[in-house]
Amino acid sequence: MVLPPVRQQRGGTVICFTGDSEGNALREHSRWSLAPFESLASRVVLIDWSDPRRDEQLLEALSGPVWFAASMFGLGQEISVTNGHESGNYWSVFGIPFVRMFGDLPAYFPDRHVAAFPNSINFYGDPVQTAFYNRWFSSPALAITAPPLVLDRIPTQSLDLSSKKTGRILFPKNGNSVDRLTRYWHESLPESVADALDAMAEESTQWARLNGRPRFDDLVVSYFAAIGLDVGANRPLLCFLVAQLDDYLRRFKSRMIAEALLDLPVIIRGRFWDHVDFSGKRAIYDPDSDAASTRDLIDQAPAVIDMSPNTQDIPHDRVRRAIGRCTAFLTNRMACFDGVGMESKRFTFDFSPESIHDLVEQYVLRPSDAVELGMEQSRVFLARYRDECYAEALATVVDLCALRIGERPRGTQDFVVFPPASYG
């Protein structure tokens, strides 16, 4: 396919690439993440990478100026072009900033976080992820933490509060077995590495890390420093070990929540819960994980249960989706809830079975209180997490990226070498 030359312009078309994913989460999250730009850009175009009409849709999207391109995990960033004397990465040749959106530590799929061209922007969901990138990756991508964005918003006039009061509290989370992960360590990795992971995993479940900021890279580096090895000098090895521990703690926490809920009349919805025995329990297991159809269940639920992905500073996407649907959220205690104008003990638990069970049971017994809590949370957090703050942050980093790779601005002092990327 021959792609046309294109001009970068603020307010032009925003192009977002999506694709197949578990429960269609990639498509839904891409749409939610760029919704604030629908009023700022000439248009927002979502192109499904698996759609046979993909090339046709891309050509049409490139028919006018482009503000920026975006995708989860950098999908679509590798498009190349040969155009007269110019060849290489399409986005780089024509100076189009490419925003790569991530919701996990760069230890997961680390190759996707590396900047293959200077107009890459890494947009992370929490400061701990941005900090990890800045500490361990030397590639030149601009990295920014996304301000909190309320997702999948519903008009308040369409709420059916009476049905919520008779619904079941929902825990929409895919599960995974801790035992299966540790078995992989001992069956597939060198014995010394498996033993080291066991020891570090055990340390990660201590109270401070379980309920705070785990900082797995510090844990890994200090563990191996005791035998005189600087693991931090080898990024692929560090990322592998950090990803194992991060995955372990998520599995550990999600299992704790599920087991704490088994004797309560809630819905646990998602895949990979075969390691939990639901037989004879009051909790209902729903193996579906479709992100779009979960919307109806959220609307019918008095509350949604969530857990953060080992983060503390930005509410997780399920929390921000509950806010958008005016449904109460019950989640682990996080620093981001301090000083918000609500008593966070009303909707947060510590990672202990008793704390989880007691908080959820409170609202199972009094669903009307849960409905009132959800309305209050929505009022408080919609005022706190404004679309324009999110959009302006992303627009600003796109502007900086365009400046970094663009032509010399008229009137720039002669002591400034341009473009800055030429000596970065």
The amino acid present at 162, given as its one-letter code, is S
Confidence of residue 31 (pLDDT cuts 50, 70, 90): very high
* Higher per-residue pLDDT: 26 or 232: 232
Torsion sign (Cα): 169, 173, 174, 180: negative
Residue 406 has pLDDT above 90, yes or no: no
Q: Quick count: other Cβ atoms within 10 Å of Cβ 262?
A: 17
Q: Which residues contact 85 (CB under 8 A, 6 or more apart)?
A: none
E strand segments, 36-169: 43-48, 66-72, 80-83, 86-89, 98-102, 120-124, 142-145
Element spanning 60, H or E: helix 54-61
**How far is it, in rounded angstroms, from Cα 327 to Cα 321?**
9
The listed range with the strongest mean pLDDT (77-86, 289-298, 405-414) is: 405-414
**Torsion region of 363: left, alpha or beta (phi above 0 gives left; psi -120 to 50 gives alpha):** alpha
Q: What is the pLDDT of residue 86?
A: 66
Is the Cβ–Cβ distance between 214 and 246 less than 8 Å?
Answer: yes
Q: What is the pLDDT of residue 423?
A: 65
Element spanning 329, H or E: strand 328-332
pTM over 0.85: yes
Mean pLDDT (whole number) for 113-127: 91
Residue 293 has pLDDT above 90, yes or no: no
Share of the chain above pLDDT 70, in %: 98
Give CB contacts under 8 A, 24+ apart, made by 1-5: 1/55, 1/58, 1/59, 3/58, 3/59, 3/62, 3/79, 3/81, 3/83, 3/90, 4/59, 4/62, 4/63, 5/83, 5/94
Least confident of 19-23, 128-132, 184-188, 397-401: 19-23
